[in-house]
Amino acid sequence: MKDLISIVVPIYNVKEYLDACIKSIINQTYKNIEIILVDDGSTDGCADLCDEYKKFDSRIRVIHKENGGLSDARNTGLEVANGVYIVFIDSDDYVNVNMVKELYDAIIKTNSDISICKFKRVKSEIIDIYENKENKSLEILSGKRVIEEVYAGNGEEISFVAWNKMYKKDLFYDNEIRYPKGRIYEDTFTTYKLLYYSKAIAVIDKYLYYYRVREGSIINTNITKGRCIDAIDSGTSAVSDFEQWNEKKLMSIAFKYACRSAILEYNKVLHMDNLEDRKYCKKYIIDCYRRDWKQYATKCKLPLDKKLVFGVFYLFSDLMIKLKNMVRV
3-state SS of 221-262 is CCCCHHHHHHHHHHHHHHHHHHHHCCCHHHHHHHHHHHHHHH
- The stretches of the chain forming alpha helices (DSSP H) are 15-26, 46-56, 70-80, 99-110, 143-152, 170-174, 191-196, 225-244, 248-269, 275-296, 304-315, 317-322
Residues 43 and 119 in one domain: yes
Q: What DSSP letter does each residue of 302-329 carry, written as one string?
A: --HHHHHHHHHHHH-HHHHHHTGGG---
Give the C-alpha distances (Å, rounded to integers) separating 225 from 122, 177, 229, 230, 309. Answer: 28, 26, 6, 9, 25
Residues 300 and 207 in one domain: no
267 pLDDT tier (thresholds 50, 70, 90): confident
Reported as type and span, the H/E element at residue 166 is: strand 165-168
Is the full-model pTM beyond 0.85? yes
pLDDT (0 to 100) of residue 320: 56
CATH code for position 119: 3.90.550.10
First CA to last CA distance, the chain: 52
The Cα angle at residue 91 between residues 28 and 233, in degrees rounded to 5 = 125
Residues 175 and 319 in one domain: no
Asked whether residue 280 is domain-assigned, the answer is: yes
pLDDT (0 to 100) of residue 1: 72
Asked whether residue 236 is domain-assigned, the answer is: yes
Asked whether residue 217 is domain-assigned, the answer is: no
Residues 77 and 206 in one domain: yes
pLDDT (0 to 100) of residue 82: 97
Average pLDDT over residues 43-51: 94
**Residue partners of 17: CB distance under 8 A and separation at least 6:** 91, 92, 93, 94, 212, 214
Average pLDDT over residues 14-32: 95
129 backbone dihedrals φ, ψ, rounded to 5°:
-75, -10
Comparing 267 with 175, which gets the higher pLDDT? 175
User: 122-127: which pairs have CB atoms within 8 A and are 24 or more residues apart?
Assistant: 122/210, 122/211, 122/212, 122/213, 123/212, 123/213, 123/214, 127/94, 127/210
pLDDT (0 to 100) of residue 310: 85
Asked whether residue 272 is domain-assigned, the answer is: yes
Q: What sign does the CA torsion over 258, 298, 143, 238 have?
A: negative
Residues 50 and 195 in one domain: yes
Asked whether residue 263 is domain-assigned, the answer is: yes
Average pLDDT over residues 56-78: 95
Residues 63 and 104 in one domain: yes
CA distance 47 to 57: 16
Asked whether residue 122 is domain-assigned, the answer is: yes
Residues 190 and 244 in one domain: no
Residues 159 and 232 in one domain: no
pLDDT value at 325 more than 60: no
Burial group, residue 38, by CB count within 10 angstroms (0-12, 13-18, 19+): buried
Asked whether residue 123 is domain-assigned, the answer is: yes
Residues 31 and 171 in one domain: yes
Asked whether residue 218 is domain-assigned, the answer is: no
Of 188, 212, 236, the position where a domain reaches its end is 212
Number of domains in the chain: 2
Of 187, 212, 237, the position where a domain reaches its end is 212
Q: What percent of the chain has pLDDT over 70?
A: 91
Encode pLDDT of 193-202 as tens digits.
Answer: 999 999 999 9
**Residue partners of 95: CB distance under 8 A and separation at least 6:** 24, 25, 28, 89, 129, 208, 209, 210
pLDDT (0 to 100) of residue 127: 77
CA distance 270 to 180: 28
Encode pLDDT of 107-136 as tens digits.
Answer: 999 999 999 999 999 887 677 777 777 666
Residues 208 and 250 in one domain: no
Residues 24 and 123 in one domain: yes
Of 212, 240, 262, the position where a domain reaches its end is 212
Give the C-alpha distances (Å, rounded to integers) separating 262 from 69, 187, 229, 276. Answer: 25, 18, 10, 19
Domain that holds residue 122: 5-212
Give the gyration radius of the chain's Cα atoms. 21
Residues 36 and 167 in one domain: yes
Find the largest Cα–Cα distance for the chain. Answer: 63
Encode pLDDT of 293-305 as tens digits.
Answer: 999 999 998 888 8
